[in-house]
A and B are shown apart, each in its own frame.
Chain A
Amino acid sequence: MKDLITKEHVFKHSIDKIWDAISKAEEISTWFIPADFKAEVGYKYTFNSPDKENCTQITGTVKQANPYTLIYTWMVADTNVETTVTWKLEKIEGGTKLYLEHSGISNYPGDTAVTMFNSFNGGWDNCITELAGYLTKEVHAG
C-alpha cells in the first residue's frame, strides 16, 4: 500500500504528438476532461466547467511545463486537499514512453475521502462514459 499511483505506458506515437495531447486545452478536452488549461508555470487551470452537471470540478496550478515534463496540482472541488499529478514523456525506440504519477492521496482526510469518493465516483463515471461515447462516435463517424 502506498501513497502514490504510477502508470507507465508505451505509445507508438511521436513524443510531440503526445505532448500536445496532454498539454493543449483543446486536446485535453477531447480525450480527457473539458479543460481550461495552459501549459505555463503558475497557470490556474480548471477541469470540467462548473455549470456542467454531474461532473466534479478539478482545479490546480501548473508547477512545471517544459517538454516533456508536465506537473500540476490536483484539487477536487470542495475538498481543499492538494495532490500532485506528473506526466513525463520519454522518446524510446519505436515510440514514446509515458510515465504518470499521482501523489499525495493520503492527504485526503479519511471521512472526506469516503464521502467524496462516493459522490465523486458517480460524477466521474458520467464524465468518463460521456468521453468514451464521444470517442466511439468519432471512430464510427470517421
Chain B
Amino acid sequence: MQDKITKILKAIADPTRREIFHALVVAATALPITQISSQFDMSRQGVTKHLKTLEDAGLVQINSKGRERFCFADTKPLKEVNQWLKFYEQFWDDAIDNLGTYLDQK
C-alpha cells in the first residue's frame, strides 16, 4: 500500500492533474465532471481517471447527485507535504547561514 505523502506527490506530479486541481481550487465550489471535461477538452473518461487519482490522494472529493458527479477540491493534504518541505527548507537555510558565519571566523 502506498503511503499518503507518496500518493499526494504522485497526484500532483502530473501537469494536467495539477491544472484540474487548480481549476477546482479556484472554482471554490463543487463542479460536475461534465463541466470539467469540457473545460479541459478531454474525454469524460480521461478526466475521471485523473480525478480518481486526485481522490485517492485526498485532494478531491467526488459526490454523486442524481446522474451527475460533483468534484470538490480539498487542499488540506498538501499541508502535510508542505510542512515537511518547509521544515527542511528552513533547516538547510539555517545550516548555510551557520556555515557562512563559521567560515568568516575561520
Contact = CB atoms under 8 A, between A and B. Distances in A.
B19 interface: no
Contacts of B80: 110, 113-114
Interface residues of A, number: 38
Interface stretch (B31-39, B44-52, B61-69, B92-100): B92-100
B9 A9 contact: no
A1 B9 contact: yes
Nearest to B81: A1
Contacts of A5: 85, 88-89, 92
A142 B104 CA distance: 12
A11 B9 contact: no
A69 interface: no
Contacts of B4: 109-111
A110 B3 contact: yes
Nearest to A136: B101
Contacts of B103: 11, 13, 17-18, 21
Contacts of A102: 88, 92
Contacts, number: 89
Given A106-B6, A117-B84, A135 B98 contact: yes
A110 B5 contact: yes
A31 B78 CA distance: 33
A3 B3 contact: no
Given A9-B96, A22-B99, A109-B3, 12 more contacts: A1-B78, A3-B9, A17-B106, A18-B103, A21-B103, A21-B106, A32-B99, A105-B85, A106-B5, A113-B5, A135-B101, A139-B105
Interface of B: 3-6, 9, 12, 78, 80-85, 87-89, 91-96, 98-103, 105-106
Interface of A: 1-3, 5, 7, 9, 11, 13, 17-18, 21-22, 27, 30-32, 98, 100, 102, 105-106, 108-111, 113-114, 117, 120-121, 124, 128, 131-132, 135, 138-139, 142
